[in-house]
Amino acid sequence: MFAAPTALSRRMWLKGAGALGCADLFPKLASATETEIFSEGLKDHAARKGLIYGSAVEGLHLRTNLAYQETVLRECGWIVPTYEMKWGVTGQVRGNSNYARPDFIVDFALRHGLKVRGHTAIWYLNIPKWLGEALHEPEKPDVFDTHIQELVTHYHNRIREWDVVNEAIDFKDGQPHGLRNSIFLQTLGPDYIARAYRVAREADPAAILVYNDFGVEYPGARQEARRRAMLEIVQNLRRENLIDGVGLQCHVNAGQRFDAAVFRKFLKELADLGVSILISEFDVNDTQLGPDIETRDQAVATYAKDFLDVALDEQAVRGVISWGISDKYTWLNEQPFARKDGAPSRALPFDEAMRRKPLWNALASAFDHAPQRDHSDPIIRPVK
Ligand code: XIL
């Protein structure tokens, strides 16, 4: 009887409870205003232009915070598990994967008609404790292949799109092609990237395979090098028809100078390779802004609007996924990203009480002003 109510059933519940004179059964739910509850969500603004909007979510919060759950359902067409699908979570016991946590999110999504991005098969962080040793064993490639094969197969027909490899670039490591010196590079060599996509392609030939990375949005030599490295990865994968899209994380920083021309050029270069582009982990770091909330929220919104207008102007860009939806749950409060003054970050479109912020308006307005996409399915398949 007290199973997690859907947005609709909860409203009906409230009505019923009110009629019975016990409306304060759900005192914490009076956060969003009526306008917010009954107006269109960001997904609707996006969809009108053939674009998508969604958010990274955490299963625990979906289960325990109804106001959050309702916000996600109202605003998002897509969701992405923040960490639950990472190898370190599903693969704690070697040879006995446990998908209970990501399954909860995927089941939730499908029950409510949302789509899910698979994030992520191969990442250098959040990996099982046993993996380092295992990858050095003679049968090491099996561990790698089996993980990807099993993960993609487990979600066959439920997840259409995968971040197969995440964050493979890091020039600091001094490796050829700017590749990060991850455990995968060390044990399998640079071919681990193509290998991952080959396994994923075979496991689900209909799935959209994406390469996801950060640090390619800004001017300057460091990011320019990362852009070249990313283009090289995409080009190599395209040669074997192993990739369909790229995810640009776009953890932007409101204190950093944005150069529209540089970003536009990069988007065009990616589009010319025949891949679709997703702004895959959008949020606005506000650590360089003053503490006053009103001023900060305005500055974050203005910055985001300028950035998103450029991003959405490129036809190959399919839409925006933000890395969280409410300031109550943002990774930007984790170290080393948190503000030095201890004030909570205001990086996301909803505040801690699930009320819309100026950043919500910036996103809605960017979608409203984006050029119409000429395809009804926002996923662009590669030209064979
Ligand atoms: C982050 C989560 O948001 C954090 O809670 C966790 O501590 C670390 O991982 N790029 C990615 C995401 O691709 O998987 C990361 O998620 C954020 C950066």
Tell me, in angstroms, the distance from the centre of ligand 1 to residue 335's CA. Answer: 12
Does pLDDT of 34 surpass 50?
yes
CA dihedral 111, 116, 90, 324 (to 10 degrees): -100
The verdict on residue 197 lying in a domain is yes
- Residue whose structure tokens are 């487990």: 154
Q: pLDDT for 241-299, tens place per residue?
A: 999 999 999 999 999 999 999 999 999 999 999 999 999 999 999 999 999 999 999 99
| CA separation for the pair 156, 335 (Å, rounded) | 36
Mutating to test ligand 1, I would choose from 210, 331, 333 the residue with most ligand atoms within 8 A of its C-beta, which is: 331
Tell me, in angstroms, the distance from the centre of ligand 1 to residue 323's CA. Answer: 8
| Structural domain boundaries enclosing 61 | 5-368
Identify the pLDDT of residue 375: 67
| CA separation for the pair 32, 356 (Å, rounded) | 8
Tell me, in angstroms, the distance from the centre of ligand 1 to residue 383's CA. Answer: 32
Ligand 1 pocket, Cβ-based, cut-off 6 angstroms: 82-83, 166, 249, 281, 331, 334
Whole-model pTM: value is 0.91
The verdict on residue 87 lying in a domain is yes
- The stretch 97-102 carries a mean pLDDT of 98
The verdict on residue 379 lying in a domain is no
- The stretch 30-42 carries a mean pLDDT of 76
- For residue 45, give the CATH number of its domain: 3.20.20.80
Tell me, in angstroms, the distance from the centre of ligand 1 to residue 92's CA. Answer: 18
Q: pLDDT for 119-175, tens place per residue?
A: 999 999 999 999 999 999 887 779 999 999 999 999 999 999 999 999 999 999 999
The verdict on residue 68 lying in a domain is yes
Q: pLDDT for 43-90, tens place per residue?
A: 999 999 999 999 999 999 999 999 999 999 999 999 999 999 999 999
Phi/psi-derived region of residue 324, left when phi > 0, alpha when psi is between -120 and 50, beta in every other case: left
Q: Which residues pair with 116 in a beta bridge?
A: 79
The verdict on residue 382 lying in a domain is no
The verdict on residue 378 lying in a domain is no
Number of structural domains the chain divides into: 1
